[in-house]
Amino acid sequence: MTKTRGKSKVKIVSNPAQAKHPPAHDFKPSGKHLNFNRITDEQFLIAAEEMKLEDDIRMLLRTPYRELIVQIPVRMDDGHLELFHGYRVQHNGVRGPYKGGLRFHPEVDLNEVRSLAALMTWKTALVDVPFGGAKGGVTCDPSNMSRKELQALTRGLTSKIDMALGVYRDIPAPDMNTNAQVMAWIMDEYGKKHGYTPAIVTGKPINLGGSEGREEATGRGTMIITREACKAFGIDIKQTRVAIQGFGNVGSWTARLLDEQGAKIVAVSDVHGGIHNPAGLDMKKLVAHVKTEKTVVGFAGAKSLPNDELLTIDCDILIPAALGGVVHRNNADDVQAKIIVEAANSPVTPRADEMLRKRGKHVLPDILVNAGGVTVSYFEWVQNLQQFHWDLLTVNSELERRMVKAWKRVYQTATERNLTLRIAAYAVALEKVAEATRQRF
């Protein structure tokens, strides 16, 4: 009998309510999932209209440069042949080589990868690193695959998209369900044909040319933006209660680093469920628990909490750090947090964004919040090219400088133009990419 596991599927202002923001909607395709590409495109168009961007520049900035769809046959451990579908979308490269993560997930499809590739274009421009935007993925369920099967899948994908990769062409990185080991396999497979090329991927093990601070970079960037926003809004971060949905790499590091800043982490969750303690969770003990149990569920001294309820609990800061579309029109009115920090990609839908804005909530946009990862990926790439290793202090200091600079630019733009923070972030990014486009065409 043939098994089917892992089978692929063929500006914040003094009164935010006064901010200019056209009507928004939740978009749903024929299935149950949000159409993230349409969401990203709508946000782009709002910013483009605000900037009065020329039609020809809009066309070039909206259209991906290249899209690859590949078939990856893998001989599974039980002997049967499984066929997976892989994707790599190169959105825009006018500011530098394409850069973007690679994710393994059952719901990966071309539409999602297109959206994420575009977000990378704006993200790299916003933090002023010389990259363009790309993204990749494979439709699979890595939780049901062995190490051997994952390695075969990774090497198969690498060989199929080899012609689109390159140190000065396209540099992948880890994303959902991929990690340093997967990047090591990509580097090794690419190197079979092109020779030792550590700069071909970022997020590698340090022993193979990876960077100090890369693992916690996205979480550290999230902490920095959250801290700076609290300062701007006159909030003492040491008096805040924080809820974080998602306790993977980004969520767990964000929790630990905000805890170090004095914030009280009152709730966290993962795919198995959530936990809540109004008095605050002990981060050191929780991290140790997760290391042993592989989940936050069952942590002593905390009550269980469903994932959806975490989004609406009494807290000051809500950080969705897992999947997109979790704050939507059906639950946005129930969100109690004053600040929503988008550590995940597109976790707040356009309609929910509008509803939160009208209620005076601050939404910190994903292209700013989670840009720490690509920033340190840039540092890693630079180190590989220079064949020189930076220490952790240098990495974190430079990350701090770039993230704070990006926040100040976005907040200034939002204040001066009376925009939401999201549209201000897009405006800053689009201005850079549009100017580079004009100079090259």
pLDDT of residue 385: 97
Q: What is the pLDDT of residues 37-79, one digit of tens each?
A: 778 888 888 888 988 999 999 999 999 999 999 999 999 999 9
Asked, for residue 337, whether it belongs to a domain, the answer is yes
Contacts of 163 (CB under 8 A, 6+ apart): none
pLDDT reported for residue 58: 92
| Percent of the chain residues past pLDDT 90, beyond the cut | 83
Summarize pLDDT for 318-377 with one digit per residue, the tens: 999 988 889 999 999 999 999 999 999 889 988 999 999 999 999 999 999 999 999 999
Of 172, 207, 242, the residue at which a domain comes to its end is: 207
If one compares 310 and 1, the residue with the highest pLDDT of the two is 310
- For the chain, what is the radius of gyration of the CA atoms? 21
Assess whether 156 and 74 both reside in one domain: yes
Query: How confident is the model over 308-326, as pLDDT tens digits?
Result: 899 999 999 999 998 888 9
pLDDT at 25 over 50: no
Q: Tell me if 176 sits within 8 A of 142, measured CB to CB.
A: no
Q: What are phi and psi of 342, to 5 degrees?
A: -85, 85
Using CA atoms, how far apart are residues 248 and 212, in angstroms rounded to an integer?
A: 19
**pLDDT for position 34:** 64
Residue with tokens 């006159």: 234
Regarding whether 200 and 320 lie in a shared domain, the answer is: no
- Domain ends where: 312, 333, 358? 358
Q: Would you state the pLDDT for residue 324?
A: 85
User: Is residue 309 one of the residues assigned to a domain?
Assistant: yes
Nearest Cα neighbor of 370 from 393, 390, 396, 341 is 341
Per residue in 206-230, pLDDT tens? 999 999 999 999 999 999 999 999 9
176 shares its domain with 270: no
Same domain, 253 and 302: yes
- Which residues in 217-299 belong to E strands, given as ranges? 241-245, 264-270, 273-276
- What tens digit of pLDDT does each residue of 166-211 get? 999 999 999 989 999 999 999 999 999 999 999 999 999 999 999 9
* Alpha carbons 250 and 203: distance in angstroms, whole number: 14
Is there a single domain that holds both residue 223 and residue 195? Answer: no
How far apart, in whole angstroms, are the C-alpha atoms of residue 48 and residue 69? 29
**Tell me, what amino acid is at 149?**
E
Distance CA 210, CA 203 (A): 6
CATH number of the domain to which 110 belongs: 3.40.50.10860
Proportion of the chain above pLDDT 70, given as a percent = 92
Structure tokens belonging to residue 441: 């065409």
**How many angstroms separate the first and last alpha carbons of the chain?**
57
> How many structural domains compose the chain?
2
Which residues span the domain enclosing 170? 65-207
Query: Which pLDDT score, from 0 to 100, does residue 32 have?
Result: 46
Q: Are residue 241 and residue 173 in the same domain, yes or no? A: no
Phi, psi of 51 (to 5 degrees): -85, -10
> What was the pLDDT predicted at 33?
55
Enzyme catalytic residues: 135
What span, in angstroms and rounded, lies between the C-alpha atoms of 331 and 340? 13
pTM (2 decimals)?
0.88
From 358, 382, 415, the end of a domain falls on 358
Confidence (pLDDT) at 14: 30
Residue 380 belongs to a domain: no
| b/e sequence 184-203, b meaning 16+ C-beta within 10 Å | bbbbbbbeeeeeebbbbbbb
- Could you tell me if 240 and 158 lie in one domain? no
- pLDDT per position as a tens digit, 239-294: 999 999 999 999 999 999 999 999 999 999 998 999 999 999 999 999 999 999 99
Residues 235 and 270 in one domain: yes
Considering the domain architecture, whether residues 94 and 198 belong to the same structural domain is answered as yes
| Same structural domain, 72 and 133 | yes
Note whether 140 and 90 are same-domain residues: yes
Distance, in Å, from the CA atom of 349 to the CA atom of 325, rounded to the nearest integer, reads 5
* CATH number of the domain where residue 259 is located: 3.40.50.720
Same domain, 239 and 195: no
Point out which residues pair with 209 in neighbouring strands: none
321 CB-near residues (< 8 Å, 6+ apart): 222, 244, 245, 246, 247, 248, 250, 251, 254, 343, 344
Phi and psi, residue 358, nearest 5°: -65, -25
